[in-house]
Chain A
């Protein structure tokens, strides 16, 4: 008798746990591959999976097996020309030999083991061990989102929430307390009764016995009248509504688009912003991005414009910082939003503007922001802006960081350095 069963609707991902274990085990290799990938990728496909290769030797599951050498016999099919007693010169290179196939296995054919990880896993590895600096402000969004939390035990409530264990415990305590005196007395009377029964019976004693029996019966009736469960015993689980804080973040991307920034530099800057954006998205339920670009004057633009259109002109960095400040004041109340700023520039600025930038940043922006990072995409000596910002960093190390990026390969290391988990923060 056969049973034919349709199992197609059963779970498909029986191997997920095993797969995860495997990924955990080869974390180091995967991290390397991910690091490589970040430098290689264009902006659009940052959020894709990645092909990972691991050298076969690192994956080995060793077993005892024969090595080369000794005497061995192998039978193969498909003889064409050999006669018994023929001798064939061994292929040079040691290994070879009759066990042609086995030699292949044990030889140094160092195959690579390749597989795909999906986008989510890719980002997990990408941002592993990274964390956003500084405290996270959470905005209480009152009635719109809350969750129920256990709020202790109360003596009033609806039947559905009766806490049976606690109620029974209460009842047991009450019964014991109310009956304690009677039970003690009952024990004494019973003992006396018992004792009298053992002795010879006289009228006096008989009278006493009857008296005792009556008292015992009375006491027992009293004990029975104590209710097993009373209304006062009932205890109820209590739940309270706790508003769920919602964390929101806004990120200001500030990029210099002046004539001195060529396409390569902009590309570097964009990659950096993109990483930061992906990272913020993972950390906050709700992330907004404000794109600001500037040459001599700053302008808020759309993502499309920000990344893909071109402009030229001189450079006044402070214009962008001012615009940022205005937008914060106008749209993002500091007590409701987590604010992050990232600025990318080639460091070119009108010299008398730089000190202004530093003080604007330090006095107005940093106190409002969670963190501000500055990257300079320029493989050459620094200018006034860098020096000024360096001063800012010395005074506000926790809220400000800066780094230099020369080539696409630098972006990810710099990014990691900026956001690595800070132990002292824990």
Chain B
């Protein structure tokens, strides 16, 4: 590089494809060379705001199947955007290989650079590195699978009618959060294989009735003499959609396949739901770091930096709890603060840090950061790395609400006694298995009236919202085809029971 000439990558706020390319190269050089981030190849797509709205309303899937709920999301986004109530997100990034990131054409070059650094290097390396994504999602197969799903659903619509397909999808969407295997690990398979297996499953199902319902009395006398308290499933099942797909008595093969598709989507998005703070924090940390490096190298101007910083500080703003803008803890703010803090602990540890983080204080910050990114999810990440300093900075406090008392207690604040409590509580707040009601399939009365019983195990005596539960049960009933009961269990006793159809 010649020293006498200006090293600036661009001047002014307009961009063209050459400028984008220059920025991408510069950022890639830093990300791969200086920091050794491991990423999928990038595919950066420039789109218009209308296309962004399309992408937005399909939950960020580049190819989605058709469903009215996406249409609803679309009109909502469109309306809000038109009235100027909402800026569109600067970027959407898809966990795929190559990693697809969308840039909006309206943005200035500063924003484009920010998004490239944020999405194409930040999120991208997170998708490739984090253990949840590694085990649960297959970046190279997802696009193919989405295409398969879209075609399959379109074919079903032709064969069985849009309404029939929509019904099943509605019901599946209602149970989507319960279509996830939390503990079993899937083995990745290719889209071709997926298609072959789908045909095979359909064929097998066509040929034989589910084993479960084979109750010819004379053929199998042995099973008749089983213990009267024989229960199916033997162990409670947490994956409701999987259970329905395999065991619902009256579903057609194609209906089972639809359940399966929704289940796969849920599974694909499950890691994202568990790593919001980390994922955004990581990406924000890297766009901040990478763009600052560009500035230090003299590759971007002061004006560029000011515009960048203004946007950056908007993104990581955390309003206090009593502000009218407060809507919970901002994952960008918390995540960014935590990664920055880890770096600080490594580089300039205080005595307090040495006491709280003996393992990482003074260690190599880059290695520590990567380790943190790769091996945790939000819950454990907070549990592990939330420092007292950050708790003070955010002025976190914990409220305890017991419906048997007429007051709310502040059980911890940002002081010596409160650090550990707050860290535990905050970590719990990001634990999906605590935030979502714990509902499992308890009993399917396969020899009797075929009714299905679910159990909700109450944690901290928290009940279910009755109205929405009833709605969901109705969906469940549609899939199962026979009576459905939901028992709410508190301390081992059934305290509430909902049934559909209502008796």
Interface string of A79-98 (1 = CB under 8 A from B): 11011111111100000011
Q: Whose C-beta in chain B lies nearest to the C-beta of A19?
A: B71
A-B contact pairs, 6 of them (CB 8 A): A2-B42, A4-B20, A4-B46, A66-B437, A74-B425, A116-B78
Q: Is B60 among interface residues, defined by CB-CB distance under 8 A?
A: no
Set of chain A residues within 8 Å of B399, measured between Cβ atoms: 73-76, 98
Are B44 and A4 within 8 A (Cβ)? yes
Q: Is A25 among interface residues, defined by CB-CB distance under 8 A?
A: yes
Given the known A-B contacts A20-B71, A77-B321, are A82 and B403 also in contact in the complex, defined by CB atoms under 8 Å?
no
Q: Is B48 among interface residues, defined by CB-CB distance under 8 A?
A: yes
Q: Give residues 166-224 of A contacting B (CB, 8 Å).
A: none
Are B465 and A65 within 8 A (Cβ)? yes
Nearest-neighbour CB distance to chain A for B403, whole angstroms, equals 5
Q: Give residues 162-190 of B contacting A (CB, 8 Å).
A: 162, 166, 170, 173-178
Set of chain A residues within 8 Å of B475, measured between Cβ atoms: 62
Quick one: which of A1, A12, A21, A114 contacts B50, CB cutoff 8 A?
A: A12
Q: Is A22 among interface residues, defined by CB-CB distance under 8 A?
A: yes
Q: Is B142 among interface residues, defined by CB-CB distance under 8 A?
A: no
Q: Whose C-beta in chain B lies nearest to the C-beta of A117?
A: B75
Among B205-213, B344-352, B356-364, B414-422, the one that faces the other chain is B414-422
Are A65 and B436 within 8 A (Cβ)? yes
Interface string of A4-45 (1 = CB under 8 A from B): 111110101111011111111100000000000000000000
Q: Is A69 among interface residues, defined by CB-CB distance under 8 A?
A: yes
Nearest-neighbour CB distance to chain A for B98, whole angstroms, equals 7
Q: In the complex the two chains form, what is the Cα distance from A82 to B398 in whole Å? A: 10
Nearest-neighbour CB distance to chain A for B374, whole angstroms, equals 23
- Apart from A19-B74, A61-B170, A84-B411: 14 A-B pairs, beta carbons within 8 A: A2-B21, A4-B21, A4-B46, A12-B50, A13-B54, A17-B71, A19-B75, A21-B68, A64-B472, A72-B462, A79-B396, A85-B409, A85-B410, A89-B408
Set of chain B residues within 8 Å of A6, measured between Cβ atoms: 17, 45-46
Q: Is A113 among interface residues, defined by CB-CB distance under 8 A?
A: yes
Q: Is B439 among interface residues, defined by CB-CB distance under 8 A?
A: yes
Most chain A beta carbons < 10 A, residue from B68, B69, B409, B436: B68
Are B41 and A18 within 8 A (Cβ)? no
Are B396 and A80 within 8 A (Cβ)? no
Set of chain A residues within 8 Å of B415, measured between Cβ atoms: 84
Are A3 and B472 within 8 A (Cβ)? no
Quick one: which of A5, A60, A72 contacts B468, CB cutoff 8 A?
A: A60
Q: In the complex the two chains form, what is the Cα distance from A15 to B81 in whole Å? A: 15
Are A5 and B46 within 8 A (Cβ)? yes
Q: Is B251 among interface residues, defined by CB-CB distance under 8 A?
A: no
Q: Whose C-beta in chain A lies nearest to the C-beta of B490?
A: A70
Set of chain A residues within 8 Å of B397, measured between Cβ atoms: 75-76, 79, 82
Most chain B beta carbons < 10 A, residue from A17, A69, A86, A101: A69
Among B87-95, B279-287, B322-330, the one that faces the other chain is B322-330
Are B408 and A61 within 8 A (Cβ)? no
Q: Whose C-beta in chain A lies nearest to the C-beta of B48?
A: A8
Most chain A beta carbons < 10 A, residue from B53, B79, B458: B79
Q: Whose C-beta in chain A lies nearest to the C-beta of B435?
A: A66
Given the known A-B contacts A86-B409, A86-B410, A115-B76, are A77 and B465 also in contact in the complex, defined by CB atoms under 8 Å?
no
Are B408 and A87 within 8 A (Cβ)? yes
Set of chain A residues within 8 Å of B398, measured between Cβ atoms: 73-75
Q: Whose C-beta in chain B lies nearest to the C-beta of A73?
A: B425
Q: Is A68 among interface residues, defined by CB-CB distance under 8 A?
A: yes
Nearest-neighbour CB distance to chain A for B21, whole angstroms, equals 6
Q: In the complex the two chains form, what is the Cα distance from A384 to B290 in whole Å? A: 88
Set of chain A residues within 8 Å of B70, measured between Cβ atoms: 15, 18
Most chain A beta carbons < 10 A, residue from B468, B469, B475: B468
Nearest-neighbour CB distance to chain B for A339, whole angstroms, equals 40
Quick one: which of B66, B403, B425 contacts A69, CB cutoff 8 A?
A: B403
Question: Interface size (A, Cβ < 8 Å)?
Answer: 62
Set of chain B residues within 8 Å of A140, measured between Cβ atoms: none
Are B28 and A66 within 8 A (Cβ)? no
Q: Is A67 among interface residues, defined by CB-CB distance under 8 A?
A: yes
Quick one: which of B17, B105, B458 contacts A4, CB cutoff 8 A?
A: B17
Are B43 and A3 within 8 A (Cβ)? yes
Q: Is A134 among interface residues, defined by CB-CB distance under 8 A?
A: no
Quick one: which of B45, B79, B436 contacts A116, CB cutoff 8 A?
A: B79
Q: Is B151 among interface residues, defined by CB-CB distance under 8 A?
A: no
Are A78 and B320 within 8 A (Cβ)? yes
Q: In the complex the two chains form, what is the Cα distance from A21 to B162 in whole Å? A: 9
Residues of B within 8 A of A (CB): 17, 20-21, 24, 28, 41-48, 50-51, 53-54, 57-58, 66-72, 74-76, 78-79, 82, 98, 105, 120, 162, 166, 170, 173-178, 318-323, 326-329, 394-403, 406-415, 417-418, 422, 425-426, 428-429, 436-437, 439, 456, 458, 460-466, 468-469, 471-472, 475
Nearest-neighbour CB distance to chain A for B333, whole angstroms, equals 8
Nearest-neighbour CB distance to chain B for A217, whole angstroms, equals 52
Given the known A-B contacts A6-B17, A64-B436, are A1 and B41 also in contact in the complex, defined by CB atoms under 8 Å?
yes
Quick one: which of A12, A23, A77, A88 contacts B318, CB cutoff 8 A?
A: A77
Given the known A-B contacts A75-B426, A116-B82, are A80 and B395 also in contact in the complex, defined by CB atoms under 8 Å?
yes
Set of chain B residues within 8 Å of A87, measured between Cβ atoms: 407-410
Quick one: which of A5, A23, A66, A114 contacts B43, CB cutoff 8 A?
A: A5
Nearest-neighbour CB distance to chain B for A408, whole angstroms, equals 28
Most chain B beta carbons < 10 A, residue from A70, A90, A113: A70
The 3 tightest CB contacts between A and B, nearest first, are: A78-B320, A22-B71, A70-B462
Q: Give residues 330-366 of A contacting B (CB, 8 Å).
A: none
Quick one: which of B45, B54, B471 contacts A14, CB cutoff 8 A?
A: B54
Q: In the complex the two chains form, what is the Cα distance from A65 to B467 in whole Å? A: 10
Q: Give residues 101-118 of A contacting B (CB, 8 Å).
A: 101, 106, 113-116
Q: Whose C-beta in chain A lies nearest to the C-beta of B18?
A: A4
Q: Is A99 among interface residues, defined by CB-CB distance under 8 A?
A: yes
Q: Is A59 among interface residues, defined by CB-CB distance under 8 A?
A: yes
Are A78 and B323 within 8 A (Cβ)? yes
Nearest-neighbour CB distance to chain A for B175, whole angstroms, equals 8
Q: Is A71 among interface residues, defined by CB-CB distance under 8 A?
A: yes
Most chain B beta carbons < 10 A, residue from A69, A75, A88: A75
Given the known A-B contacts A8-B48, A61-B69, A78-B323, are A67 and B465 also in contact in the complex, defined by CB atoms under 8 Å?
yes
Given the known A-B contacts A64-B437, A78-B323, A98-B399, are A70 and B463 also in contact in the complex, defined by CB atoms under 8 Å?
yes
Are A18 and B471 within 8 A (Cβ)? no
Q: In the complex the two chains form, what is the Cα distance from A220 to B341 in whole Å? A: 94
Q: Whose C-beta in chain A lies nearest to the C-beta of B74?
A: A15
Q: Whose C-beta in chain B lies nearest to the C-beta of A65?
A: B465
Are A71 and B464 within 8 A (Cβ)? no
Q: Whose C-beta in chain A lies nearest to the C-beta of B418?
A: A84
Q: Whose C-beta in chain B lies nearest to the C-beta of A59?
A: B72
Are B105 and A8 within 8 A (Cβ)? yes
Are B407 and A84 within 8 A (Cβ)? no
Set of chain B residues within 8 Å of A80, measured between Cβ atoms: 320, 322, 395
Are A97 and B46 within 8 A (Cβ)? no
Q: Is A63 among interface residues, defined by CB-CB distance under 8 A?
A: yes
Set of chain A residues within 8 Å of B318, measured between Cβ atoms: 77-78
Q: Whose C-beta in chain A lies nearest to the C-beta of B382?
A: A75
Nearest-neighbour CB distance to chain A for B163, whole angstroms, equals 10
Given the known A-B contacts A3-B43, A65-B436, A115-B79, are A21 and B463 also in contact in the complex, defined by CB atoms under 8 Å?
no
Q: In the complex the two chains form, what is the Cα distance from A360 to B199 in whole Å? A: 72
Set of chain B residues within 8 Å of A24, measured between Cβ atoms: 68
Set of chain B residues within 8 Å of A114, measured between Cβ atoms: 79
Quick one: which of B20, B45, B170, B407 contacts A88, CB cutoff 8 A?
A: B407
Q: In the complex the two chains form, what is the Cα distance from A21 to B170 in whole Å? A: 13
Are B74 and A78 within 8 A (Cβ)? no
Nearest-neighbour CB distance to chain A for B138, whole angstroms, equals 21
Given the known A-B contacts A15-B74, A70-B403, A116-B79, are A77 and B329 also in contact in the complex, defined by CB atoms under 8 Å?
yes
Q: In the complex the two chains form, what is the Cα distance from A139 to B58 in whole Å? A: 48
Given the known A-B contacts A5-B46, A83-B413, A99-B401, are A64 and B439 also in contact in the complex, defined by CB atoms under 8 Å?
yes
Set of chain B residues within 8 Å of A7, measured between Cβ atoms: 45-47, 51
Nearest-neighbour CB distance to chain B for A146, whole angstroms, equals 32
